Amino acid sequence: MPMRVNISLESGWMSEHILFEGNAYNIGRSTQADVFINHPQISRDHATLSANDDIWSLQDTSSAGCYHRSKRVSYLPITDQKTLKLGPVLCQFKYLNHHQLTALDNQNMWRQRQVQQLSHQFSQCSSSIALLKSARHCLLQTLGCERAALILVDQQKQLQQCLGHETWMDNERFSGSKTIIQRCIDEKRVLAIGNIQADPSLAIQHSVMRYNIQAALCVPIMSENNVIGVLYADNTQGRQFFTETEVKFVESFANILSLRLLFQSIEHKISAL
C-alpha cells in the first residue's frame, strides 16, 4: 500500500509526500534526498524508508537519531499509523488504500478547477463582494476547516471589516485569533500554525483559550507591497495542521483576490476623474 508522509516544517505547516512500494526512499537534508527536510539538525542522509511484502519500515542512517515514543530506534516496522521524530522534526506516517489515494487525486484536481473557476469569475464578476464570498465558501470546502473569513485591513493595519454574516465574525464578538492575524499583517507572510495549544506564546492568548482554537491559517492579500486584507481559517476541533499543498492553494486564492481588489481600486479612481 502507498504511504503518506507528513513532515512538520519550521514555517508551521506540513509538507506532504506520497510514496509507493518498489523503491527505497532517502529522507534527509541533502537536496538529492527523495524526501527533503530543510532543518540544520537533520542529517544529509537521515533515514531510509522502504516496503517489503506490503509492510513499510524505517532504517535510521543518521547521528541525530530517529525516535518513537521518546525512544531511539535504529529500525522500525511501520505496521499502522505512526508519529516519529527524526531528530527534532515531527513526522507522521500513514498507509493509504487505493480508495484514499484516488480521493486525494480527485481533491487535488478539484482544487485546480476551483482556482481556474475563481480566475474566470474574476474576469466576469462585476461585484467584488460576490467574488469574495465565493472565495470564502471555497476555502471552507477545500481546507475542511470549521471557520473561514476574508478580513479587510485599513491603512493603519487595523482590522476594518470581516466579510460574512456569521456571529463569530462580528467586530465586537470576533472569536478568531487577532494575534495571529496581526502577526501575519506585520510580517507580510503566510502563517500556518498547527497545534496552537502547544505554542507557549499563543496558548495563553484570550481567544485561543476561550474558543479552544487548535490550528489557524492566515494568508495576506497584498497590493503594492501593502497588506489590504487577509484570508483567515481555523479549527477548534479535529485536525491540528494545514499541509503545504493547502497553503499554496490559499496563496493562489489570495493572489487572485489581490488582483481583483486592485482592479476595483483602479476602476474607482477612473470613475472619479
Domain architecture of the chain: domains with CATH: 3-96 (2.60.200.20), 100-272 (3.30.450.40)
Q: What size, in residues, is the chain? A: 273
Q: Which helix (H) or strand (E) holds 259?
A: helix 244-271
Pairing of strands 25-28, 47-52: antiparallel
**Can you state the angle between helices 244-271 and 128-143, rounded to 10 degrees?**
180
- Helices marked H in 125-143: 128-143
Give the least confident one: 112-121, 251-260, 263-272. 263-272
Task: Render the burial of 38-58: b for 16+ CB within 10 Å, e for the rest.
Answer: ebeebbeebbbbbbeeeebeb
Nine-digit cell string for 35? 524526501
Q: How far apart are CA 23 and CA 164, in angstroms?
A: 49
What tens digit of pLDDT does each residue of 50-97 get? 998 889 999 999 989 999 999 999 999 998 889 999 999 999 999 998
Looking from the CA of 133 toward its CB, the CA atoms found within 13 Å total 8
pLDDT for residue 25 is more than 90: yes
Q: For residue 194, which of 204, 174, 180 has the smallest C-alpha distance?
A: 180
Pairing of strands 3-8, 14-19: antiparallel
Q: What amino acid is encoded at 203 in this protein?
A: A
What tens digit of pLDDT does each residue of 85-115 get? 999 999 999 999 888 888 887 777 877 787 7
- Please answer whether residues 207 and 213 qualify as being in contact, where contact means their C-beta atoms are separated by less than 8 angstroms: yes
Residue position matching grid coordinates 492568548: 205
- Helices marked H in the chain: 98-124, 128-143, 178-187, 200-203, 206-211, 244-271
**Model confidence band, residue 165 (pLDDT cutoffs 50, 70, 90):** low
Q: Which helix (H) or strand (E) holds 171?
A: none
Nine-digit cell string for 196? 496552537
- Please answer whether residues 114 and 100 qualify as being in contact, where contact means their C-beta atoms are separated by less than 8 angstroms: no
Q: How far apart are CA 255 and CA 121, in angstroms?
A: 14
Nine-digit cell string for 59? 532504517
pLDDT over 70 for what percent of the chain?
A: 82
